[in-house]
Structure 1
Amino acid sequence: MLRETDRHFKFDWLTIILFFLLVGFGWVNILSASHSGDAIELFNFSHSYSKQLIFIGLSVVLIIFILSLEAKFYERFSSIFYLISIVSLVGLFIFGKNINGATSWYAIGSMTLQPSEFAKTATALAVAKYLSDLNTDIKSFSDQLKLFGIIVLPALLILLQKDAGSTLVYSAFFFVLYREGLPQIYLVIAVLIVLLSISALKFGLIITLLVTAFIVLTHHFTRKKRPSFFQPLMVILISGALAFTVRFIYQNFLPVHQKDRITIWLSLEKDPVKLKQMKQTIAYNLNESEKAISNGGFAGKGFLQGTRTTGNFVPEQHTDYIFTTVGEEWGFIGSTLTVIVFVLLIVRVIILAERQKNQFSRMYGYAVASILFIHFNINIGMVMGLIPTIGIPLPFFSYGGSGLWGFTILLFIFIKLDSNRINEW
């Protein structure tokens, strides 16, 4: 056992450089998105870009603090972090501040703090801790239920606060469980449920049921060893019940704004005139987002030269729609380079996770990569109209202290764990 004074640490500078590249370029785009056309005033803290500078400075303080602690500290106190995050999420129902219909923030003077941004890190630590326990068997159904419970509890609390976007991020932990040996049947079921749900909404119950029955029966009768006919029959009946449930929830229980977003995304409105009107009104953000990105062309309009950006055509452009600023002012080239840097960071985290000697560190690393992957894909897919509008930030880019600090903590805990790898036996 090495004493702390005898330990050696080697930080992965490539990951750190990628982090600062994203944070720095993110701030440049926040400046563009929030600039009113007047002189740039870095120390006028009524501007979003000035506030973000403070958030970045505090992130550096957080980084120094995280890297100065013993690596084992995060594993040892992972359960405590998880408990604190759950308490902070529950407390929102009593002390939370409602912003844009979601009760997801604590008001601290003139500032707000969003605990869901930190709960992802706490959940990642808790999942890694439980999975790395010698008594945990990922093949055991009881252990699977406990793991699902660890993941679902914070996700459910966030969903009850009407923050569906942050809830969806918790699907990232499925990749971690699958990497650690979760039976493949769960992956198959998850994919089939998504496809069945989309089909039920897009094509209706009858067509969905007929196609499902055809696929299931074809698979059954072409197998060499056929199980009882009761099995495919049950699959068809369960599929039909699920399809009916999805449509019923969509038509009767889904909030209007979420229902409209799905309607536009899947073009469920049969009247083309009404659908066009919906896109122009309900999907105003998306329309302006697509116009801003296409306005950038190949090379972009240039820094502070984006007409739709400086004209404030895109709502929430400095937060969830920050990528539209990249598209307009830096064009296809800048957008591609941004995507490449994000991909490099995620791939680098996966590579580092794979070479960990400590099981806890490896699982936590995969959780970090998965969370970043989900955020990155959903946010960029949203602003380009590839998926329904879902309000989640682009990591290290979007304006906001909670988001930046949450992602900084998430990433640099892993950098600290990785730096201790040379001391692991």
Structure 2
Amino acid sequence: MRQEQNNIFAGIDWLLVILFTILVCFGWLNIYSASKTNEDIELLSFSTKYGKQLIFICLTIPLIIIILFFNSKFYEKFSSVLYIISLVSLVGLFVFGKTINGATSWYNFGVLGLQPSEFVKAFTALAVAKLLSDRQYNFKLIKNQIKAFVIIFTPAFLITMQPDVGSALIYLAFFFVLHREGLTLNYITLGTLVIVLFVLTILFGTSWVLVSLFLLITIFTIYITYKGGKHFIRFNWHKIIAVYAIVAIFILGTGFAYNNVFKQHHRDRFEVLLGLKKDNQGIGYNSHQSELTISSGGLSGKGFLKGDLTQGDFVPEQHTDYIFSVIGEEWGFFGSSLVIILFMLMMYRVIYLAETHANKFGRIYGYSLASILFFHVVVNVGMVIGLLPTVGIPLPFFSYGGSSLWGFTILLFIFIRLDAHKNYDW
């Protein structure tokens, strides 16, 4: 057993490694297609996007070896330290960070820029796993739930302040993990209601929603009161009025924030998404071009490097957040479906392996990994096909960028290391 532990490749799940390799390689092919020029340039060159990405991919090999070098107890024991260091890296951006596209999210090291928010996800997952796996931790207690929320939303708050709302939204994925560990559906239900009220307020206005809500509550109360004929049901009117007052304050706050706090380009994105405004030449240009590019691919696609819209650079920043549109045009519906299936297989495999862990730490971390992957894929693909607003969330292993690639590599291979050691007696 000890000899097996000294072999860093012993016990690792090769199916996950194979899926990782396929996704990364296929991702690079699409980055190459989206950023290829007519000039004959070496592949391993920082002068092109695909050259940089290939260097980033090569550098994942020593990164993976370093991750596998440490045993599972290292990640469990030092999870809090790694989490604190990651928070410090986010705070440091406000002093040493570089502002790109209006967000101070990067450290600049000459030819290399690092976005710490891409790495913090893994260390937050470790911290959540450490907290929830503590034998003395009772998740049913409100104070313990608050501890978990603080761990999750502290980095989300710091990322929002950069501002990078898209990356901060990813931390909502941890609610899937908390639900798996015993958190009631009340929180998710409440969150869903908040989103519904937010959308309705934007669509129909504050006054309409307030009046409609008042009428619904009144009708429902009268119906329940007289249901059953002679059996009169007494209501606590104070509670009903209090609930309505809280909801009304939220609706009024939403209307005020939307009109006075949100910037115009934020309002434009929501209005384009909800069909209140059509702006295919302005704020909705990227999404519109992306939809056209994907639909032009048909069932089987136009072929590698044969996508005229991709080669004509019709979709801005196509090699990053809109990389899925390259897949849709050149590989068609079949290729796009294959990518989705590969992601589903990876998530299913992670959940399956997580459920085999006797140690709660490994199981909770595995669910964190699967939830983050799920959230990234759903939001990114939904954004590219026009179902969700543009929020700047990359497609794992596909979108251009060393920080994104390395962040997901760390996230995945820490789990692979935890899984490889799950049967070892430490």
TM-score between the two structures when normalised by the length of structure 1: 0.94
Mapped partners of 1:171, 1:369: distance in 2: 13
Q: 1:237 aligned to 2:245?
A: yes
| Alpha-carbon offset, residue 231 of structure 1 | 2.4
Q: Which amino acid aligns with 2:241?
A: L
Q: How many matched pairs?
A: 417
Q: Is 64-73 or 393-402 further displaced after alignment?
A: 64-73
Question: Structure 2: 5+ residue runs without aligned partners?
Answer: 228-232
Counterpart of 2:20?
19
Q: Is the 8 A contact 1:297 1:332 kept in 2?
A: yes
Question: Structure 1: 5+ residue runs without aligned partners?
Answer: 269-274
Q: 1:346 aligned to 2:354?
A: no
**What's the CA shift string for 1:181-236, capped at 9, x where partnerless?**
11222121111111111111112223323443455455554388765132232222
Q: Is the 8 A contact 1:395 1:407 kept in 2?
A: yes
Mapped partners of 2:123, 2:45: distance in 1: 34
| Alpha-carbon offset, residue 121 of structure 1 | 0.7
Counterpart of 1:112?
113
Q: 1:248 aligned to 2:250?
A: no
Q: Which amino acid aligns with 2:246?
A: I
Counterpart of 2:385?
384
Q: Is the 8 A contact 1:7 1:423 kept in 2?
A: no
Q: Which amino acid aligns with 1:379?
A: N
Mapped partners of 1:424, 1:366: distance in 2: 23
Q: Which amino acid aligns with 1:315?
A: P
**Tell me, what secondary structure is at the counterpart of 1:423?**
coil
Q: Is 363-372 or 237-246 further displaced after alignment?
A: 237-246
Counterpart of 1:266?
274
Q: Closer, same or farther in 2 for the Cα pair 1:217/1:412, shift >3 Å?
A: farther
Q: 1:304 aligned to 2:305?
A: yes
Counterpart of 1:330?
331
Q: Is 324-333 or 279-288 further displaced after alignment?
A: 279-288
Q: Which amino acid aligns with 1:195?
A: V
**What's the CA shift string for 1:301-358, capped at 9, x where partnerless?**
1100111111111111111110010011111111111111111111211111112110
Q: Closer, same or farther in 2 for the Cα pair 1:36/1:243, shift >3 Å?
A: same
Q: Is 224-233 or 57-66 further displaced after alignment?
A: 224-233
Q: 1:411 aligned to 2:419?
A: no
**Tell me, what secondary structure is at the counterpart of 2:280?**
helix
| Alpha-carbon offset, residue 6 of structure 1 | 6.2
Q: Is the 8 A contact 1:205 1:240 kept in 2?
A: no
Mapped partners of 1:245, 1:391: distance in 2: 26
Counterpart of 2:73?
72
Within-5 A mapping of 1:1-150: 9-39=10-40, 41-150=42-151
Q: 1:222 aligned to 2:224?
A: yes
Q: Which amino acid aligns with 1:264?
A: V
| Alpha-carbon offset, residue 136 of structure 1 | 1.5
| Alpha-carbon offset, residue 141 of structure 1 | 1.1
Q: Is the 8 A contact 1:212 1:239 kept in 2?
A: no
| Alpha-carbon offset, residue 279 of structure 1 | 2.9
Q: Is 185-194 or 88-97 further displaced after alignment?
A: 185-194
TM-score between the two structures when normalised by the length of structure 2: 0.93
Q: Is the 8 A contact 2:44 2:54 kept in 1?
A: no
| Alpha-carbon offset, residue 256 of structure 1 | 2.2
Q: Closer, same or farther in 2 for the Cα pair 1:5/1:332, shift >3 Å?
A: closer
Q: Is the 8 A contact 1:358 1:424 kept in 2?
A: no
**Tell me, what secondary structure is at the counterpart of 2:256?**
helix
Counterpart of 2:356?
355
Within-5 A mapping of 1:152-231: 152-217=153-218, 220=221, 221-222=223-224, 227-231=235-239
Mapped partners of 1:24, 1:377: distance in 2: 21
Mapped partners of 2:235, 2:417: distance in 1: 51
**Tell me, what secondary structure is at the counterpart of 1:107?**
strand
| Alpha-carbon offset, residue 45 of structure 1 | 2.8
Mapped partners of 1:41, 1:345: distance in 2: 33
Counterpart of 1:295?
296
Q: Which amino acid aligns with 1:369?
A: A
Q: Is 134-143 or 92-101 further displaced after alignment?
A: 134-143
Mapped partners of 1:161, 1:337: distance in 2: 35
Q: Closer, same or farther in 2 for the Cα pair 1:304/1:238, shift >3 Å?
A: same
Counterpart of 2:283?
282
| Alpha-carbon offset, residue 389 of structure 1 | 0.7
Q: Closer, same or farther in 2 for the Cα pair 1:347/1:5, shift >3 Å?
A: closer
